Amino acid sequence: MSTRKYSRDHEWVLPEGESRVKVGITEHAAKALGDIVYVELPQEGDSVSAGDALAVVESVKAASDVFTPVSGTVVAVNDSLENTPEQINTEAMQSWIAVIEMSDAGELDALLDEEGYKAFCEQED
């Protein structure tokens, strides 16, 4: 059973310990965007609130904001995406964008589990 949670904006969060989560975009979002050519990462130390733009992902089709599903402080960024942004297309569920130290772990309760996210995507398509 996965502990990964999903937002309705097509981001995933993967808890790491009590108060940290990795954040990335879902395979559904990566497929919709097409070939990703650039990722604008947040800065370590940035304070974010749930729903804020965390990063920008650019593809050959369009640029899209990545919204943070949780509030807190960015404590790490995946620098490898600067040189190889296409890894989001090939490994969306492993290609995290940032690690956030959450200020309110209760925000995870508002997110979808895997089954709920799949149903949400089916309704959207």
For domain 5-103, give the CATH number.
2.40.50.100
Cα-Cα-Cα-Cα torsion 33, 5, 122, 81, nearest 10 degrees, comes to: 10
Q: What pTM, to 2 d.p., does this model score?
A: 0.94
pLDDT of residue 1: 43
- Residue 61 scores a pLDDT above 90: no
Q: Measuring CA to CA, which residue among 88, 71, 107, 95 is closest to residue 35?
A: 88
Tokens of 22: 């990795």
Residue 106 is predicted with a pLDDT of: 93
